[in-house]
Amino acid sequence: MKKIAVFTSGGDSPGMNPCIRAVVRAALYHEIEVVGIRRGYKGMIENDFEPLDSKAVSYILNRGGTMLGSARSQAFHTKEGRAEAYKNLKAHNVDGVVAIGGDGTFTGAKVFMEEYNDIHFIGVPGTIDNDLYGTDFTIGYDTAVNTAMEAIDKIKDTAVSHDRLFFVEVMGRDAGFIAALSGIAAGAKAILIPETKTDINELVDLLRKNAEKKKLSNIVVVAEGDDEGGAFEIAQKVKSKIGIFDVKVTILGHLQRGGSPTCMDRVLASRLGVAAVEALKNGVNGVMVGQLHRDISYIPLEQAIKHNQKYSDHWEKLVEILAF
């Protein structure tokens, strides 16, 4: 392994910068040359490569977003696009690639590797959604749940002061991890997630019982992928069945993706970045490096994408008990 490339792809997540820094510093430590590819697969196709030295990644450890930029590339879905990407990687003499991203990024890498097998790929889980199998946490998740928790705390001040019922929608695509943890941490009365079927009548009953106990201020956290719809839709359904609440809706949106990474995300990103380079150096190919039970784990890219992280129903029980 003489030269590697690193890129970030898909939705940016806080911690991608510390991960890039770790990849660059680890590569240089092991006397491997390193280039950055700007804007993910798009830049790979458009030949947007830049050499990276130790100084290029100074003072990015605490910055949100990604210094390399990110994109969701349609062209990489085509055979021609991937052929162009391969041509550029070869022209830059790249032997191995570190791909920091989520399931879309790894799916792209998997398809590419089926067509071209002389360039090694290692994935690093970078997404706020925490929806990849084979790692306890993805890079950016800890920062995102803390951001969501702080936002819900603030909304709760108004909910309590005005006796209001708030539906707060959080991100996560089709996974409920951000909703579950931020909701528990901020004392939500109910948390609606895609992994479990939402029953509007049950929710209405719960809110009625709360009203009987004179609890008119309530927070319901809704994961954006919930089967009953987004926060606006669910609020509407509840309102039509129970008219006693002053109902408000807040969508947290992209503010959950930004900001300085937490200590947990910086350390995870640093550790996985180094592990990715060492995996390439040791001839490993086609796996995602993760952290499972505090140890570094290696899982085939295909499994990381397909199996998803299992949502445990003990969270649900916890919410029920804590909201009693």
DSSP string of 22-72, one letter each residue: HHHHHHHHTT-EEEEETTHHHHHHTT-EEE--TGGGTT-TT--S-TT----
Shorter beta-carbon distance to ligand F6P: residue 33 or 129: 129
Between the two ends of the chain, the Cα-to-Cα distance in Å is: 58
DSSP string of 255-294, one letter each residue: GGT-SPPPHHHHHHHHHHHHHHHHHHHTT--SEEEEEETT
In this structure, what token pair is assigned to residue 71? 């994109």
For residues 45-104, which are near ligand F6P according to CB under 6 A?
102
Considering the complex, what minimum distance in angstroms separates the CB of residue 144 from ligand F6P? Answer: 8
Q: How many CB atoms lie within 10 A of CB 149?
A: 20
Shorter beta-carbon distance to ligand F6P: residue 25 or 38: 38
- Which uninterrupted H or E stretch holds 89? helix 79-91
Is 257 a binding residue for ligand F6P by CB under 6 A? The answer is yes
**3-state class (DSSP) for residue 3:** strand
Considering the complex, what minimum distance in angstroms separates the CB of residue 265 from ligand F6P? Answer: 14
Task: Answer yes or no: are the C-beta atoms of 175 and 131 closer than 8 Å.
Answer: yes
Considering the complex, what minimum distance in angstroms separates the CB of residue 63 from ligand F6P? Answer: 18
Stretches 47-55, 122-130, 234-242, 258-266: which one binds ligand F6P (CB under 6 A)? Answer: 122-130
Task: Answer yes or no: are the C-beta atoms of 125 and 303 closer than 8 Å.
Answer: no
Asked about 129 being catalytic, the answer comes back as yes
Is 107 a binding residue for ligand F6P by CB under 6 A? The answer is no
Considering the complex, what minimum distance in angstroms separates the CB of residue 257 from ligand F6P? Answer: 5
Site mask for ligand F6P (CB under 6 A), range 219-248, x = bound: -----x------------------------
Considering the complex, what minimum distance in angstroms separates the CB of residue 83 from ligand F6P? Answer: 26
Shorter beta-carbon distance to ligand F6P: residue 228 or 278: 228
Q: How far apart are CA 8 and CA 22, in angstroms?
A: 13
Shorter beta-carbon distance to ligand F6P: residue 15 or 96: 15
Shorter beta-carbon distance to ligand F6P: residue 210 or 262: 262
Task: Answer yes or no: are the C-beta atoms of 225 and 173 closer than 8 Å.
Answer: yes
- Which uninterrupted H or E stretch holds 228? none
Residue in 33, 129, 169, 195 binding ligand F6P, rule: CB under 6 A: 129
Shorter beta-carbon distance to ligand F6P: residue 129 or 265: 129
Is 173 a binding residue for ligand F6P by CB under 6 A? The answer is yes
Q: Which residue in the list 12, 53, 103, 129 is annotated as catalytic?
A: 129
Give the distance from CA 305 to its chain's centroid. Answer: 13
Stretches 160-168, 171-179, 210-218, 313-321: which one binds ligand F6P (CB under 6 A)? Answer: 171-179
Residue in 172, 183, 261, 273 binding ligand F6P, rule: CB under 6 A: 172
In this structure, what token pair is assigned to residue 88? 């550029």
Query: Which residues are catalytic, by number?
Result: 129
Q: Please give the residue ranges that form the binding site for ligand F6P (CB under 6 A).
A: 11, 102, 127-129, 171-173, 224, 257
